[in-house]
Amino acid sequence: MKKYMMGLDIGTTAVKAVLFNTTGQYVDKETVHYPLHTPNVHTAEQDPDEILMKAIQAIKVLVARNECSNDIEFISCSSAMHSLILLDRSGSRLTECITWADRRSEDVAEAWNTKKGVDIYRRTGTPIHPMSPFIKLLYFKDEAPEMYSRIGKIVGIKEYVLHHLTGLYGVDKSIASSMGMMNLETSEWDAELLELLELSPEQLPNIVDTTRAYTPTNTATSHLGITGDTKIIIGASDGVLANLGVNAIEEGDIAITIGTSGAIRTVIDAPKTDPKMRTFCYHLTNDHYVIGGPVNNGGVVLRWIRDELCQEEVGEAESKGKDPYEVMTQAAKDVPPGSNGLIFHPYLAGERAPLWNAKAVGSFYGMTLSHSRSHMIRAAMEGVVYNLYSVYLALREQMNTVKSIKASGGFARSEMWKQLMSDVFGERLTVPKSYESSAFGACLLGLHAIGKMDDLNAVAGFVGESDAYAPDEKAYMKYQDIMSVYIEIGRALEPFYDRMDDIR
């Protein structure tokens, strides 16, 4: 009987191979980073072959270090959404891996953000935005017609990696539903959209359940150091799996993730879209769908603050052997809630929810001579949480009740971040003591796929204990006053985003 299961999480900045035993206890992980190529403000690409090699490396190193070649039941996969790789009819690449952050198609998205675009959103669950592979394909159809005519297969990064491990092209319903071309009601490629794109279903991977199991090729087993009876589970997207990984799958459970970017999500039992197109709706299993909103600006905001404004704190951290973020958050703790009237709109990388505007830009408002760098650090942290809270307000309209809020991601290592989120939301926040929620969620889905977990509700027995944070009532009331100002200022700034884009 095999002892282990592995989650493979293909992210925007790194791939993680995470090893658990079959009772859900964390054993070890291997993380390998790769660059995001941004030669200009609109382009955000990666080398898919580099990611493939890094994924193989991460699995191989983890297997060798734990001497578990013969003991892995399955490898279950998670990946970032909305990536696009165009292949020709021989399988050779026509493009790099175009990520969710790529903005080249923003004018196309703006043109389609009409009544017809809203109808497409309602059918597919994917908002009209440059992140959407559907919008990216419309862009290439017009801007690169010669290349477009040579398309043999359209895949994302997970499909690209899995093809090299299994020899097959398949896309799980979760990733497919985030491509903006899968009909949520039928779970098939939408015929009208394919006709619009002048594509055939054969140019896209077969849509399969998120529990589909594959057999690795002999070449893959040799490269990975595993045996041929180790299954490869196709898995799902990192967002929906994070809900599973923190046991936020019952009605009223909300999961919040802040990594480089961020998201807030809840699970429902049938597809549902928002009349105002503020939230997505993606597939998890045939009985579970995830609605919510992604934000571009999570930890990347604090990283920008660190790199551009906090060289003094970075130097102090180096001299004391500390993490720079620890020194930065300590400085922010000395500033009262609300940052003495300094408000930060964190749109440094455009924004998805709640604005769905790739041209959005960030700003500090309310700055005076009395404000210091510490105020700016705290205001930036608060701005990220304000933005998530505004998505929460949209999501809340689609829910009958809120039963729990559970958080995960890199921010969960910071006590200040967690307390700040509880204070802004005015809700008890729990942080499950699970490791790598997306990879863990992939493993839990894998257990369901091989018949060792009959019902996804059984994940509660695997997730374990949680740390809890209760809101400070005084801070919450302060933040409620600020939120109304934050939202009103944000609305007032929106008409200037196009003009600022022209200036740049």
- pLDDT single digits (tens) 17-59: 999 999 999 999 999 999 999 999 899 999 999 999 999 999 9
CATH level 3 topology of 4-239: Nucleotidyltransferase; domain 5 (3.30.420)
Distance of CA 337 to the CA centre of its chain: 28
- pLDDT single digits (tens) 262-320: 999 999 999 999 999 999 999 999 999 999 999 999 999 999 999 999 999 999 999 99
Range of weakest confidence among 71-85, 102-116, 141-155: 102-116
Q: What are phi and psi of 125, to 5 degrees?
A: 85, -5
pLDDT at 435 over 80: no
Name the residue with higher pLDDT: 400 or 260. Answer: 400
What is the pLDDT, as a whole number, of residue 405? 96
pLDDT at 464 over 80: no
Average pLDDT over the chain, rounded to whole? 95
Cβ-based burial of 26 (10 A; exposed 0-12, middle 13-18, buried ≥19): middle
Residues 6+ apart with CB under 8 A from 478: 337, 338
pLDDT at 260 over 90: no
If you average pLDDT over residues 390-406, what whole number do you get?
Answer: 94
The confidence band for 114, taking pLDDT boundaries of 50, 70 and 90, is: confident
pTM (two decimals) = 0.93
What is the pLDDT, as a whole number, of residue 487? 97
The confidence band for 460, taking pLDDT boundaries of 50, 70 and 90, is: confident
- Going from N- to C-terminal start, the domains of the chain cover 4-239
If you average pLDDT over residues 198-215, what whole number do you get?
Answer: 98
Tell me the Ramachandran region of residue 461: left when phi exceeds 0, alpha when psi lies from -120 to 50, beta otherwise: alpha
If you average pLDDT over residues 365-376, what whole number do you get?
Answer: 98
What is the pLDDT, as a whole number, of residue 69? 96
Secondary structure of residue 95 in the 3-state scheme: coil
What is the pLDDT, as a whole number, of residue 394? 94
User: What proportion of the chain, given as a percentage, has pLDDT over 90?
Assistant: 90
